[in-house]
């Protein structure tokens, strides 16, 4: 409990602070405004870190299975940016494959787990136009239900100023509120705004 209080901005115990700073005497330095540097060369953009891939070479994968194995491997190694790119690449290359709806679900789940609810919603909305989904009433209904659930999650978290919360970190009382609101929305006729 003391740790939590300290993290929330309360002062640390005086004895600890005194022991830490005892004997320290720092010279008082005058404040100087930095001089502007003339004709400074622009700083080149930093190279992305290995887990912040901006693209992947799809030609290195000979099949959808290979690409999805890579995506799952990256996701399980907490390299979600690479997993997202692999899933997007799989949808781009194999969007008409019968497995495409499951790729969309996986991509939506990755976004949801990292608290990127708007990206998850966009993924499902865009997927509604894939023929493999648009021409299957049951899949279309499930995707619409997922969209409604994600919208509910986003609305409740926004209401609590917690929109960036990873799904697994949503407090239990918020989850109960999400479930109750989602059930209420499911009972409303289509087109009714709550």
CA distance 176 to 192: 22
Q: Provide the 3-class DSSP secondary structure of residue 170.
A: coil
Query: Which residue do the tokens 């969209």 mark?
Result: 147
Per-residue pLDDT at 121 exceeds 70: yes
Through-space distance between the first and last CA atoms of the chain, rounded to whole angstroms: 40
Per-residue pLDDT at 27 exceeds 50: no
User: Tell me: the pLDDT tens digits for 138-169?
Assistant: 999 999 999 999 999 999 999 999 999 999 99
Q: How confident is the model at residue 110 (pLDDT cuts 50, 70, 90)?
A: very high
Q: How confident is the model at residue 58 (pLDDT cuts 50, 70, 90)?
A: confident
User: Tell me: the pLDDT tens digits for 31-46?
Assistant: 455 555 556 555 555 4
- Cβ atoms of 67 and 93 closer than 8 Å: yes
Q: What is the mean pLDDT of the chain?
A: 79
Q: Which of 122, 168, 129 has the alpha carbon at shortest distance from 146?
A: 122
**Angle 19-20-26 from CA coordinates, rounded to 5°:** 120
- Cβ atoms of 90 and 126 closer than 8 Å: no
- Cβ atoms of 116 and 93 closer than 8 Å: no
Contact residues for 152 (Cβ-Cβ < 8 A; gap 6+): 178, 181, 182, 185
CA distance 133 to 131: 5
- The structure's pTM equals 0.68
CA distance 163 to 160: 8
Number of Cβ within a 10 Å radius of residue 145: 13
């Amino acid at each position: 409990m003391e740790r939590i209080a300290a993290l929330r901005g309360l002062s640390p115990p005086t004895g600890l602070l005194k022991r830490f700073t005892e004997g320290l005497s720092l010279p008082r330095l005058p404040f100087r405004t930095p001089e502007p540097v003339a004709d400074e060369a622009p700083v080149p953009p930093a190279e992305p870190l290995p887990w912040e891939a901006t693209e992947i070479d799809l030609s290195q994968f000979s099949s959808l299975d290979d690409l999805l194995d890579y995506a799952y491997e990256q996701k399980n190694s907490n390299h979600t940016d690479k997993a997202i790119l692999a899933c997007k690449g799989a949808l781009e290359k194999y969007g008409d494959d019968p497995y495409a709806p499951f790729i969309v679900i996986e991509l939506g789940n990755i976004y949801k787990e990292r608290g990127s609810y708007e990206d998850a919603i966009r993924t499902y909305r865009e997927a509604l136009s894939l023929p493999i989904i648009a021409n299957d009433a049951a899949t279309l209904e499930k995707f619409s239900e997922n969209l409604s659930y994600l919208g509910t999650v986003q609305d409740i978290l926004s209401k609590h100023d917690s929109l960036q919360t990873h799904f697994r970190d949503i407090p239990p009382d918020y989850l109960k509120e999400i479930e109750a609101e989602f059930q209420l929305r499911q009972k409303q006729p289509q087109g009714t705004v709550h």
